[in-house]
Amino acid sequence: MSRVYNFSAGPSMLPEPVLKTAQAELLEYEGSGQSVMEMSHRSAVFDEIIKSTEARLRRVLRIPGNYKVGFFQGGASTQFAMVPLNLMTTGSADYFVTGNFSGLAAKEAEKFGRVHIAASSKDKNFTYIPNVKTADYSPNASYIHICQNNTIFGTRFAELPQRPGVPLVADLSSCILSGPLDVSRYGLIYFGVQKNVAPAGMAVAIIREDLLGQAGPAVPAMLNYKTIIDKESMYNTPPCWCIYMTGLVLRYIEERVGGLEAMELINTAKAALLYDYLDSQEFYKNPVEKRYRSLMNVTFTSPTPEMDKAFCTAAAEAGFVNLKGHRLVGGMRASIYNAMPHEGVAKLVQFMEDFRKANA
Amino acid sequence: MSRVYNFSAGPSMLPEPVLKTAQAELLEYEGSGQSVMEMSHRSAVFDEIIKSTEARLRRVLRIPGNYKVGFFQGGASTQFAMVPLNLMTTGSADYFVTGNFSGLAAKEAEKFGRVHIAASSKDKNFTYIPNVKTADYSPNASYIHICQNNTIFGTRFAELPQRPGVPLVADLSSCILSGPLDVSRYGLIYFGVQKNVAPAGMAVAIIREDLLGQAGPAVPAMLNYKTIIDKESMYNTPPCWCIYMTGLVLRYIEERVGGLEAMELINTAKAALLYDYLDSQEFYKNPVEKRYRSLMNVTFTSPTPEMDKAFCTAAAEAGFVNLKGHRLVGGMRASIYNAMPHEGVAKLVQFMEDFRKANA
């Protein structure tokens, strides 16, 4: 077997020890005589899996007691509708548009109330995170929405916007578990698991409990945070396999990595390796303002679109796959989530330098 | 390893050869260097998986060309909202209430329009499927909704309700792929995959194309059939692992079972084994009118609730798990979906007879 270095923006690499555990347990989970994929979600054996997964998430992220955790389906795209359906109590909300998904979130929210764009970085093709003055906010926003790490454009918020009394709602799909987080600064955090946690098919929401129970009577049961959270994510059959895999990844972070502080050190070093190389030469360029550079998604271009294409082809042949940039940006993008080993980035940098020498 | 006979109503057993394939391919799918759980959903290798899965489903179910197939998240419970949000164009619909889930579907639909209960079998605790006269239908229903197999009560429709010009919408979560189906008799079929197809975390909808595009502007993008189907289930990241597992199960049905006609023969024989035994003695009883007995979920009781409890405990110790009936019915329920081997039912019948002899 020859595993590749997969730089996909999501779904993306999973830690190999986690995959090996899943493989070993695939036909029989811990003496239960069943695969996790076959278990009744109401059985004692699955109950232990879902409860321990939530407990691990609470420990790893240090989630305060006044926050509830729910496991949902439909990805962050469904959360884009759930946020306004559950939280837009004043009829309006403030959105930051700093990339593709934050724009989609704002567009979806417009179906349910007034969306005020507090700030946008569209003027420079989303290569920075805009500053916001108090006057830019609307006077009666129910919440402020951000996408904290912009997967496509390779940026991240350096500081969080904060307004007293206005909950901050954040899509953390592409940076969750990459380092420690102060959950108490948010009203609601949500993330699709398929980038930095587990296989695609689940979103997790972490919500301050006073924000629950505000959905109107015509909100679908499955889009009401309270429905799912009141039933401890068992209102209907949950995505059991994703929950199990999330638990395995969290166990890996706790027991093998040593928690999110250690994870952040690893990620910072990994990203520095690539950014330092990018800044050391002129062949490749990264367009992002340095303080807003993402630790998870690193964009770069070679001198021409034709060269970009040749780079991606040669890289794939050398075992570095999914490096093509998003069509909105062009060039290349290396997504270096938690599960990408340091060695993968080091080898990519070496490959980039060899390619540069051959083509400069 | 010692695998049990798992009679769970869902999630439930998967064919062992399918699990073995998933296990063998877990770290690397067909020379791609990646697990299916790690693949970019936009990659060529996953594109082949999703396209071949849909193609297999179309072949196995003989889906006519004027029907579209979509892979969704959120289970049948999300479909309960999607159906009225997309199809209740006249402001009303007719619902059959023949069990728990059909009742939940009707309740959810009431949020979005007028729900007329065309028929209910609640009077006899859902032990039969009611007949419906033309006068029972409402004059301007947008559609008729049924749950074709009632998992909890162990019943199924013997004939389908049909009204000219009114689309039939059916939840087939607990009987899909159990035998051949005439898709052309339905406007919309939907099913959660976790009972008879794949691990939990996906619902499939098969919809006649003229019924697409009727959702109003305030319907969440992820709850609009057209959004998902226009993008061939790739509007956002789909539940890739569930799609892959669905493909493996469909391949198993095509290549090892020999299609749905063969599957139905196997299922009919399996169910007959259990029902014939139930009808041959007085210790256990099944309350369902014979012509409405489900092939998938077989309910039965012993003489007393205490005996039921003793039965379930002894059965679990003998390797027959998840036989406890739903709290709405009590007693026992054996869910004998496609993946339950004939041998599992034969051994259960032997166990039941031994238990009867010891306790009668």
Q: Are strands A297-300 and A332-335 parallel, antiparallel or unpaired?
A: antiparallel
Q: pLDDT > 90: what percent of chain A?
A: 96
Burial class (CB in 10 A: 0-12, 13-18, 19+), A338: buried
Span A221-280, pLDDT tens digits: 999 999 999 999 999 999 999 999 999 999 999 999 999 999 999 999 999 999 999 999
- For residue A316, the cross-strand partners are none
Q: What is the DSSP letter of A15?
A: -
Rounded to a whole number of angstroms, the CA Rg of chain A reads 21
Query: How many angstroms separate the CA atoms of A274 and A344, rounded?
Result: 11
Arithmetic mean of pLDDT, A49-56:
98
Q: Sign of the C-alpha dihedral, residues B248, B77, A219, A176?
A: negative
Backbone angles phi, psi at A146, to 5 degrees: -135, 160
Q: Give pLDDT, residue A198.
A: 98
pLDDT band at A133 (very low <50, low <70, confident <90, very high): confident
B16 at A interface, C-beta within 8 A? yes
Mutate to test the interface with A, among B190, B233, B237 (most CBs of A within 10 A): B237
**Around Cβ B36, how many Cβ atoms within 10 Å?**
24
Span B71-121, pLDDT tens digits: 999 999 999 999 999 999 999 999 999 999 999 999 999 999 999 999 999
Inter-chain residue contact B3 with A221, CB threshold 8 Å: no
Instruction: Report the SS3 class of residue B83.
Output: helix
Structure tokens at B103: 């009742």
Residue pairs spanning A and B at CB distance below 8 A: 225
A328 at B interface, C-beta within 8 A? no
Helix extents (H) in A1-43: 16-24
Arithmetic mean of pLDDT, A296-324:
97
pLDDT at A1 over 70: no
Q: Sign of the C-alpha dihedral, residues A214, A159, A119, A335?
A: negative
Please list, residue by residue across A89-126, b when 16 or more beta carbons sit within 10 angstroms of its beta carbon and e when fewer do: beebbbbbbbbbbbbbbbebbebbbbbbebbbbeeeeb
Amino acid at position A106, single letter:
A
Q: What is the DSSP letter of B116?
A: E
Q: Is A69 left (phi over 0), alpha (psi -120 to 50) or beta?
A: beta
From the CA of B139, how many Å to the nearest CA of chain A? 25
Query: How many angstroms separate the CA atoms of A341 and A351, rounded?
Result: 16
Interface predicted TM-score (ipTM)? 0.97
A110 at B interface, C-beta within 8 A? no
**Around Cβ A283, how many Cβ atoms within 10 Å?**
17
Span B134-167, pLDDT tens digits: 788 999 999 999 999 999 999 999 999 999 999 9
Where are the strands (E) in A78-120, listed by range? 92-97, 114-120
Inter-chain residue contact A240 with B26, CB threshold 8 Å: no
Instruction: Please identify among residues 57-96 of chain A the ones whose CB lies closer than 8 Å to any CB of chain B.
Output: 73-78, 80-81, 85
Instruction: Report the SS3 class of residue B205.
Output: strand
Q: Say if CB B104 and CB B53 are below 8 A apart.
A: no
pLDDT at A132 over 90: no
Span A143-154, pLDDT tens digits: 999 999 999 999
Query: How many angstroms separate the CA atoms of A158 and B21, rounded?
Result: 45
Helix extents (H) in B29-74: 44-61
Q: Say if CB A197 and CB A191 are below 8 A apart.
A: yes
Residues in CB range of B290: below 8 A, 6 or more apart? none
Mean pLDDT of chain A: 97
Closest CA to A324 of A336, A310, A338: A310
Arithmetic mean of pLDDT, A58-86:
98
Inter-chain residue contact B78 with A222, CB threshold 8 Å: yes
Any long-range contacts for B309-312 (C-beta under 8 Å, 24+ apart)? B310/B359, B311/B355
Q: Give pLDDT, residue B320.
A: 97
Inter-chain residue contact A40 with B8, CB threshold 8 Å: yes
Query: How many angstroms separate the CA atoms of B343 and A65, rounded?
Result: 49
Q: Say if CB B79 and CB B72 are below 8 A apart.
A: yes
Instruction: Please identify among residues 185-214 of chain A the ones whose CB lies closer than 8 Å to any CB of chain B.
Output: 192, 194, 198-202
Least confident range of A7-11, A130-134, B3-7, B198-202: A130-134
Mean pLDDT of chain B: 97
pLDDT at B1 over 80: no
pLDDT at A135 over 90: no
Structure tokens at A298: 């690193």
Query: How many angstroms separate the CA atoms of B178 and B265, rounded?
Result: 9
Query: How many angstroms separate the CA atoms of A32 and B45, rounded?
Result: 33
